[in-house]
Amino acid sequence: MSAPSLSESQTLKVGDTAPDFTLKDTTGQDVTFSSFQGKQNVVLAFFPFAFSGTCSAQMPSYEAELNRFHDFDTQVIGISMDARHSLEAWRKQLGLTFPLLSDFYPQGHVVDLYGVRHMAGMPERALFVVDKTGKIAWVHVHRPTGETPDNEELFAVLRKLA
């Protein structure tokens, strides 16, 4: 059975409850999404591939502004379908300190929960801002590929949640 494409599954919308999930971080530790509920807003940053040019620019842009995200009581989490060992090597290469989660097994389960699987099989470059109550406050799926997200859009949403 093939994974659903965007034409078969819908991307979640503003106001939807963000689905809970547990994925492994780069060290093999479980990270459960609902553990942030009631404590912090969360930016879920789905990205296609570690070591790719656009992703290697996008993720460090969040790291560079991590203090601003923390000022808005927000945790940034990157999610891809890369194996966690690849993500760990990439994390070290880029000097990232926020969690990178591997949706490797079962392949793309969380990508499909959020409806952001590209028709070629990998995750779309997609951002979700989830408020402290677990509701989706903002969604942006970046098309065409190669577009680098603008962090100021994220901060505008986070200002409204403050």
Residue range 118-157, pLDDT digits in tens:
989 999 999 999 999 999 999 998 866 556 668 999 999 9
pLDDT at residue 10, as a whole number: 80
- Counting residues of the chain whose pLDDT is more than 70, the rounded percentage is 90
Read off the pTM.
Answer: 0.91
pLDDT at residue 142, as a whole number: 82
Does a structural domain hold residue 142?
yes
CATH number at residue 154: 3.40.30.10
Does a structural domain hold residue 11?
no
- Residue 48 sits in which domain range? 22-161
d(CA 15, CA 137): 6
Rounded to 10 degrees, what is the CA torsion of 14, 127, 156, 65? 150
pLDDT at residue 145, as a whole number: 52
**pLDDT tens by residue, 92-111:** 999 999 999 999 987 899 99
* Residue 160 vs residues 1, 77, 126: alpha-carbon distances, Å: 42, 20, 20
Task: Return the amino acid letter for 22.
Answer: T
pLDDT at residue 66, as a whole number: 97
**How many domains does the chain contain in total?**
1
- pLDDT greater than 90 at residue 19: yes
Does a structural domain hold residue 96?
yes
Mean pLDDT (the chain, rounded): 91
pLDDT at residue 106, as a whole number: 78
Over the range 85-94, which residues count as b (16 or more CB within 10 Å of their CB) and which as e? ebbbebbeeb
For the residues 13-30, what does the mean pLDDT come to? 97
Per annotation, catalytic residue among 55, 77, 116, 129: 55
Does a structural domain hold residue 1?
no
pLDDT at residue 7, as a whole number: 39
Tell me the CA end-to-end span of the chain in Å, nearest whole number: 43
55 tagged catalytic: yes
Does a structural domain hold residue 128?
yes
Does a structural domain hold residue 12?
no
Does a structural domain hold residue 138?
yes
